[in-house]
Amino acid sequence: MTIVPIGNLPLQVPESGSDEFVFELVEHMQDLILHLAARCLEESLETEMERFLGRKRYRRRRRAKPKETGFYCSQCRSHQRQDFHRNGHYPRRLAIGWGPVKIHMPQAKCRCGGYVRLKFQTVRPRQRIWEDLQWEIQAEYLRGLSYRQIKVDLDRRLESSVSLRTLNQPVLALGAEASHFPVLPPGQVPPVVRVDGIWITVMFTNGETQTDRAGRKRAVKRAKKVPILAAQGVWPTIGRTQLLAWMRADGEDAASWQTFLEGLWEAGLTPENGLTLLITDGGTGLRAAYENVYWQVPLQRCVFHKLRNLAQALDVPVGLERQAAHRYRTEFLRSAAQIWQAPDEDEARHRYLAFCETWQPQQAKAVQTLTRDFEDTLTFYAVQEQAARRGAQWPARMLRTTSPLERMFREFRQRYRRAILFHSAIGLQAVTAQLANRFS
């Protein structure tokens, strides 16, 4: 048996190779990494202490320049760093990605005998996990893992129990921002973008407080529906779709949509960078914001939403049995859908006129609904023709509807339902960041 030092840690090497040696080597390497990490943290803490006091170790206080600091003595409340001196260290346990480490935190004392309240940046007060582990928790959460799945892995690695509240802090940091607009270089801008919103119920405080049964004052919360506005990029030639940006808004009014569209513009989604078509659901707020921001980009009115509006405006004749009413509704909607299945715009207009002539006497309200914004539903024909001139084949199904974005929202709703109810906007944004990471 031979003793080989690795760093400050001795390792016993057997005379012949074995699996035990490999396992022992891995354990010793991990111990060495933890040892070096602890020393690096302590060196950083000592550097901060030197900056706080304005002098290095063993240097007299009178040789340091007088200066008031941001920290103070807990007894006399002095802010003068010349009144402070080092007072040894106290042990503290900190979890990093490789496991738990024990570090020695420097502390200071005032000449009056009181302790100085220091706030280090390397290790913050009451911090139990370091930044590398916080980033790892965020990455695991964005991959779709739940709190409990992350907790099981960390408990095994740290040989202790990590509370769900500890995991909640770095996860909620993901939701600190109410939006996500990644900057896209010109070569990565999709030619087609779909925009739409999904509504979620969130609890918000209303400024009032109430006392619970234990005598504690609690903020009063009220349920409010808020939308998540999202933009999905489409590359029609290769059939690729990708979630580009999202934002929590107060509503789907013109101001909220304009803020969202301006965020897309600043992120690089502009006609100069290759954007050629914007697909929307036809909301009035979105239309007003579009005319202020993206008026140079052709607008396509979602055909699916138009058909849904026709179904809502349809008046089924009174007296029809259930099956007959179903056949009547199906015939009406299929006849309307054939308008946008035409091979070109001229044929689509011909089918539109024929449809209006056939159904106007029976369904005047529905025909009026079809007539409203009808021109916007035909935009995809011109965009498709322009792409053909460039030698690109853009399928019509990729250009005339926001249905793929609606299908993505379906998975969003399933995840939101698992949360039952969001008690804060930050929690909603953290979950949305997790979902968006799957579709980006």
- pLDDT tens track for 264-310: 999 999 999 999 999 998 888 999 999 999 999 999 999 999 999 99
Residue 24 pLDDT > 80 = no
Determine the average pLDDT of the residues in 181-202: 91
Residue 382 pLDDT > 80 = yes
Determine the average pLDDT of the residues in 386-414: 93
Task: Band the pLDDT of 242: cuts 50, 70, 90.
Answer: very high
* Phi, psi for 330 (deg, rounded to 5): -65, -45
Q: In this predicted structure, what is the pLDDT of residue 378?
A: 96
Give the whole-angstrom CA distance, residue 14 versus residue 3. Answer: 9
Q: In this predicted structure, what is the pLDDT of residue 379?
A: 96
Location of structure tokens 């179904």: 311
20-24, 187-191, 228-232: range with lowest mean pLDDT: 20-24
Determine the average pLDDT of the residues in 101-129: 88
Q: In this predicted structure, what is the pLDDT of residue 233?
A: 95
Give the whole-angstrom CA distance, residue 302 versus residue 403. Answer: 8
Q: In this predicted structure, what is the pLDDT of residue 17?
A: 52
Task: Give the H or E element holding residue 430.
Answer: helix 425-439
What are the sequence ranges of the domains in the chain? 2-127, 129-174, 179-439
Residue 62 pLDDT > 70 = no
Give the whole-angstrom CA distance, residue 117 versus residue 244. Answer: 45
Determine the average pLDDT of the residues in 65-72: 82
Buried b (16+ CB within 10 A) or exposed e, 58-67: eeebeeeeee
Determine the average pLDDT of the residues in 368-377: 94
Task: Give the H or E element holding residue 319.
Answer: none
Q: In this predicted structure, what is the pLDDT of residue 26?
A: 66
Location of structure tokens 């996860």: 171
Mind listing the pLDDT tens digit for each residue in 303-362? 999 999 999 999 998 888 999 999 999 999 999 999 999 999 999 999 999 999 999 999
Which comes out higher in pLDDT, residue 45 or 127?
45
> pTM value?
0.75
